Amino acid sequence: DNIDLPAATRTGIVVMNTPAGNTTSTAEHSIAMLLALSRNISLAAASLKTGAWERKQFVGTQLAGKTLGIVGLGRVGLAVCARARGLQMRVIGFDPFLSTDRAAELGIELFDNLDELLGQADFLTVHTPLTEQTRGLINADRLAEMKPGVRIVNCARGGIVDETALSEALASGHIGGAAIDVFENEPPGDHPLLADPRVLATPHLGASTEEAQESVAIEAAEILAGFLIDGEVRHAVNMAPISATDLAGIRIYLDLAHRLGMVLAQRNRASGVRSSSVEYRGEVTEKSTRLVTASFAAGLLSEALDAEVNLVNAEWMARERGIEITESRSSEAGDFSTLIRTSLATESGTHSTSATVFGNQFLRLVRLDGFQLDAFLDGNLLVIVHRDIPGLIGFIGTVLGQHEVNIAHLSLGRE
């Protein structure tokens, strides 16, 4: 939330986070807020410190037997679920990316419709990331659908629960209380929720334990070490993650795709680019082709831009320039065990290249536009389109020799 992701991506900086380090602490804080809210602990403690003894005024409600709705069943949501079940609560959940079978194993009644879940919850806690899809997820309409007196906990991200709508629902009495650890703007300043006695608020303390801070620091160090030593990308938020093992298996395809992008870029020197495509066939489809496509985009743009282009920012830069890069896959190998075919549509026509890998290290260009080839795809390439007449190849060799250009390999192709 504190990093300008578009700027980092545009600059080619991979951004990684440490999602596991604070899971337990955040889950415990959510449960602590749930308990404190249900038993009016903060209000009772404040009253007692003034010298009052108002037991009847702070009668609470027990959690056992109540229904807890959990929106978002990732690491924290599932940790909250385990603790809530220990408190003998009925747990219902909503998460489009959790299977019904897995939810049943964890003791969660899974709903495929958020609105249906909201109507059954006595308590609601949210544990989703803040995205354009989840911003304002719990809005005025959904608050109105909930049970009268329901209590809401948000220890995830400010903005998931519409703060204005929540304040109005509390004022009307429809919502019985709220426990808020996060705000849309932090610090929140003079916020109406802070003035409401039915709101228990803390200053973003979900991960503020000694254990969580140490765990996050260790995880951050491990992630950085993996990146710097092995090239591993874990928990990235602006590119596809890849392990060191997967990287070793995909490195040759990254190299191949990057070179194909460079070839296409140099084949097109004068016309505006409209779109591009990458087609994968055979064994390569078992790999993380999204990264291979990013490598192709980096090669395609490397000749055109002064800025550094890499796996992180290549597709972003292509989109900024209105270049759509599409990807398709087919497990059918055809003539080669692996084939990567790329094309570039320009204002003056279309260029295409196809390449494969021989063995574990030899890159081969097997098609250039309409010509079939068997050419090495490394070093300096000289591509000549010429008339198919006797003596022309000898003439070209003589001219290159006169200019001290040594020919390491020659491949001829016909349409």
Q: Is 124 helix (H, G, I), strand (E, B) or coil?
A: strand
Catalytic residue among 127, 151, 157, 259: 157
Told to judge if 157 belongs to the known catalytic residues of this protein, a careful annotator would answer: yes
Catalytic residue among 186, 214, 327, 347: 186
Contact 1, 130 (CB under 8 A): yes
Task: Using the structure block, give the residue that is written with the tokens 């809005």.
Answer: 139
Catalytic residue among 29, 127, 142, 204: 204
CA distances for 205 relative to 18, 161, 183, 413, angstroms: 16, 18, 12, 67
Told to judge if 386 belongs to the known catalytic residues of this protein, a careful annotator would answer: no
Tell me the β-bridge partners of 350.
345
User: According to DSSP H, which parts of 63-124 are helical?
Assistant: 75-86, 100-105, 114-118
For strand 199-201 and strand 175-180, is the pairing parallel, antiparallel, or unpaired?
parallel
Contact 71, 125 (CB under 8 A): yes
Tell me the β-bridge partners of 304.
none
Q: Measure the CA–CA gap between 193 and 169, rounded to whole angstroms.
A: 11
CA distances for 28 relative to 79, 98, 303, angstroms: 8, 22, 52
CA 307 to mean position of chain CA atoms: 24
E strands of 5-163, at which residues?
67-71, 90-94, 109-111, 123-126, 150-154
Q: Measure the CA–CA gap between 81 and 77, rounded to whole angstroms.
A: 6
Told to judge if 214 belongs to the known catalytic residues of this protein, a careful annotator would answer: no
Q: Measure the CA–CA gap between 184 and 136, rounded to whole angstroms.
A: 10
Catalytic positions, written as ranges? 157, 186, 204
